[in-house]
Amino acid sequence: MIVELVNDLKNKNLEAEEYVERTYEKIGKYDKYTNAFITIRSKEEILREVKENINKGGKLAGILIAIKDNISTKGIRTTCASKMLEDYIPPYDATVIEKLKKEGAVIVGKTNMDEFAMGSTTETSYFGPTRNPWNLERTPGGSSGGSGAALAAGYVELALGSDTGGSIRAPAAYNATFGLKPSYGTVSRFGLVAYANSLEQIGPMARNAEDLGLLFSIIAGPDDKDATTLDLSLNFEFKEQNVKSVRIGILSDILEMSEKPVSGVIKDVIDKLSSEGALIEDTKLGNAEYALPAYYIIAMSEASSNLARYDGVRYGYSKYMEGNWREVYAKNRGEAFGIEVKRRILLGSFILSAGYYEEFYLKALKVRNLIKKSLDELFTKYDILVSPTMPILPPKIGEVINDPVRMYAMDLNTVIANLAAIPALSLPAGFYNDLPIGLQLMGKYLSDIYLINISSYIERNVTKLYNLTAPIKI
């Protein structure tokens, strides 16, 4: 637990040198296999900052944290796992980074991800794929796969990710860790390199529910630099929420579309929740088959607009500067963007083009509204909604990357929360053939803390799975 680790460092039960050395020894031994990090800071610099922050104090005094490589960190390379930004060093910190530093956290490095957060397996990275510490032949999920793998491998206790359609929850599920996609507007997006503004959120990732809650309490809150943040006071009271008499709706239409090994593990957890006194009832989302296409239409449209700035003139890779502007743009973008990013830009531009905007984009917005209304109605009957986080087991490296439709289908269960702006949390549910499976909890808007408290009870009394470290088999 982070609270205990902070106290150990403060009281010198654990020396700063030992803490840092242990971290770097593990990263040095195993990350050549997992490839969780794109950038690792020097051990000497980290040790100095850890010592300084232990003396200064704070909720995270001296604690090492891993940051997804699409969140701006002043003076530390931020690449978005793309050749386009391979050498970019931000001149400012994202708001969440400022908040972490204020509480004494120390950034150990920037984690690998799908290029510009576009992917579900962390295989589209320019810096090579991240591998799942539980099984190096498997993917860790995406796009925050590096953060998930760093937690599962035991490199760090805390990490930040971003979630546009499941990018925090997929790695949490596939790495047997905890991840929260917060309610839209509870965490500032200032300093997050944009993919799809109306869908994405920065969120906490951790090895247990208590640490997840602590990290969320630090990064949440209003920000003058992000007009979408909410000026409200959240009651950060984290405690185990007994599931007795909690009304739980099982999304049967989502559950039925999952692989049998996945649905089997989830059904076991549901049975245990029932035996703990939870009020279990099968229900359906409705319009579930339209959620995925609506999500991708909206996400790709926003991506095509956001990534227009990377042209080699204003931003990014600028190898080619001679010729007319069309040639310069085409050469720089053609060489610096990966296949998946190009695909989404092209599809997004097509969707927004004259004659297709109403046919695709406006229809997708209508579906989004229908899904939100359906969820609002369900939350009048249930306190939380439950489903598998991911419909399939972690795929093998190379298994889905060349089949975009199959890769997009992996996000079936997770995009719902992003479309509706509600919080969703993934926690370990169990294993099948030593491969992790995640349980997804969704709650009504601004019920983030309630979800964390429920997950704390489930991890300790139902699944009894927390603080798991993968036995990396080389």
Using one digit for the tens of pLDDT, what is the confidence trace for 286-328? 888 899 999 999 999 999 999 999 988 888 998 888 888 888 8
Q: Rounded to whole angstroms, how far apart are CA atoms 154 and 152?
A: 5
pLDDT at residue 234 greater than cutoff 80: no
pLDDT at residue 163 greater than cutoff 80: yes
CA atoms within 13 A on the CB side of 76: 26
Average pLDDT value for residue range 375-401? 97
Instruction: Give tens-digit pLDDT for 401-420.
Output: 999 999 999 999 999 999 99
Q: Rounded to whole angstroms, how far apart are CA atoms 218 and 237?
A: 13
Instruction: Give tens-digit pLDDT for 60-106.
Output: 999 999 999 999 999 999 999 999 999 999 999 999 999 999 999 99
How many distinct structural domains can be found in the chain? 1
Q: What is the pLDDT of residue 401?
A: 94
pLDDT at residue 237 greater than cutoff 90: no
pLDDT at residue 356 greater than cutoff 90: no
Does the active-site annotation cover 272?
Answer: no
Q: What is the pLDDT of residue 455?
A: 98
User: What is the domain range of residue 292?
Assistant: 1-474
Q: Three-state SS for 414? A: coil
CA atoms within 13 A on the CB side of 462: 30
Q: How many angstroms from the chain centroid is the CA of residue 191?
A: 16
Q: Three-state SS for 197? A: coil
Q: What is the pLDDT of residue 387?
A: 98
Catalytic pick among 68, 83, 110, 444: 68
Direct distance between the N- and C-terminal alpha carbons of the chain, in angstroms, rounded to an integer: 28
Average pLDDT value for residue range 453-463? 97
Give the Å distances, CA to CA, from 161 to 43, 72, 196, 362.
Answer: 23, 12, 15, 29
- The runs of H, that is alpha helices, within 338-471 are 339-352, 363-378, 404-409, 415-420, 448-461
Q: Rounded to whole angstroms, how far apart are CA atoms 69 and 219?
A: 17
Of 21-30, 211-220, 304-313, which range is least confident? 304-313
Q: What is the pLDDT of residue 354?
A: 80
Q: What is the pLDDT of residue 324?
A: 84
Q: Rounded to whole angstroms, how far apart are CA atoms 132 and 172?
A: 11
Amino acid (1-letter code) at residue 391:
P
Q: What is the pLDDT of residue 280?
A: 98
Give the Å distances, CA to CA, from 454 to 250, 304, 398.
Answer: 15, 38, 36
Catalytic pick among 72, 120, 147, 167: 167
Q: What is the pLDDT of residue 257?
A: 92
Q: What is the pLDDT of residue 344?
A: 97
Q: How confident is the model at residue 120 (pLDDT cuts 50, 70, 90)?
A: very high
> Is-contact 448 410, C-beta < 8 A?
no
pLDDT at residue 150 greater than cutoff 90: yes
Catalytic pick among 72, 82, 120, 143: 143
pLDDT more than 70, % of the chain: 100
Give the Å distances, CA to CA, from 187 to 47, 200, 277, 423.
Answer: 29, 10, 33, 12
Average pLDDT value for residue range 30-45? 98
Q: What is the pLDDT of residue 319?
A: 87
Q: Which residues, 6 or more positions from 24, have their beta carbon under 8 angstroms from its beta carbon?
A: 43, 46
Instruction: Give tens-digit pLDDT for 248-290.
Output: 999 999 999 999 999 999 999 999 999 999 999 999 998 888 9
Q: What is the pLDDT of residue 282?
A: 98
Q: What is the CATH number of the domain that holds 29?
A: 3.90.1300.10
Per the listing, tokens 């993917």 go with: 139
Does the active-site annotation cover 68?
Answer: yes
pLDDT, mean over the chain: 96
Q: What is the pLDDT of residue 208?
A: 98
pLDDT at residue 445 greater than cutoff 80: yes
Average pLDDT value for residue range 123-143? 98
Q: Measuring CA to CA, which residue among 146, 116, 120, 118 is closest to residue 131?
A: 146
178-181 vs 201-206, strand pairing mode: antiparallel
Q: What is the pLDDT of residue 249?
A: 98
Q: How confident is the model at residue 233 (pLDDT cuts 50, 70, 90)?
A: confident
Q: What is the pLDDT of residue 126?
A: 98
Q: Rounded to whole angstroms, how far apart are CA atoms 455 and 448?
A: 11
